[in-house]
Amino acid sequence: MAFVAPLVAFLLVGGPGLTKLGTQDVIVGKGTKAAAGDTVWVHYTGKLKSGKVFDTSEKEGRGPFAFNLGAGEVIKGWDLGVVGMKVGGKRKLSIPYKLAYGEQSAGDIPSKSDLYFDVKLLAVVKKGKEKTVEKVDQKIGKGAAAGNGSTVTIHYVGKLIDGTKFDSSRDHGKPFTFKVGAGQVVPGFDVAVTGMKVGGKRKVTIPPAMGYGERPMGPLPGNSILIFEIELLAVK
């Protein structure tokens, strides 16, 4: 039983540090697959080896975190570890310190710290699709069609990619009216209603480049993807 004491000592100190990046898919997503060059939105919680949480995106008021995958905007372990995830997926990352902050300390992270993350992939905008507005018709209307120059009246509900509602015309107690193509709304919203017919309902996903871009806007964090459910009530 000579091995017992060394084994106990090993368990007490937690064993040697990580030597390579580890990934474990807790949930395999069913949406778009993330690749280098894409822009991704995630929620995450980061822990030290001791289990102490040093950062999380899920604090109230923070919202999802966005970065360009493979562009060096985050630690190397993230650029490597998020590749291959699909939207809706959850992955555990075990990142050796050499793929994190190395021998430097960073905030509550001591030098030479291996880092452990729980990551949920919320959205992906593929490289080259930064200005593409996704439109899904939930109900095709039978009335007049909206086009450039039309004045439209709609009801809408706006949400972030994590499901947080940030605005609704119904909460204001009245529908919203604007002129399509006149610069009265973000460019993606003009695209969103174009082609709809009165009585129709549509769900649209507007990437930041067609929304408010990198700047925060009221309750919206910078680089927000905007998701709207729209009902077209009238066209003039």
Over residues 121-146, the pLDDT tens digits come to: 999 999 999 999 999 999 999 999 99
Q: How many CB atoms lie within 10 A of CB 210?
A: 22
Residue 140, burial from CB neighbour count under 10 angstroms (0-12, 13-18, 19+): exposed
SS3 state of residue 192:
helix
The pLDDT value recorded for residue 9 is 36
In the chain the domains, ranked by start, together with CATH numbers, are: 18-125 (3.10.50.40), 134-235 (3.10.50.40)
Eight-state DSSP code of residue 20:
S
The pLDDT value recorded for residue 62 is 79
The pLDDT value recorded for residue 7 is 35
The pLDDT value recorded for residue 15 is 54
| Global confidence as pTM | 0.86
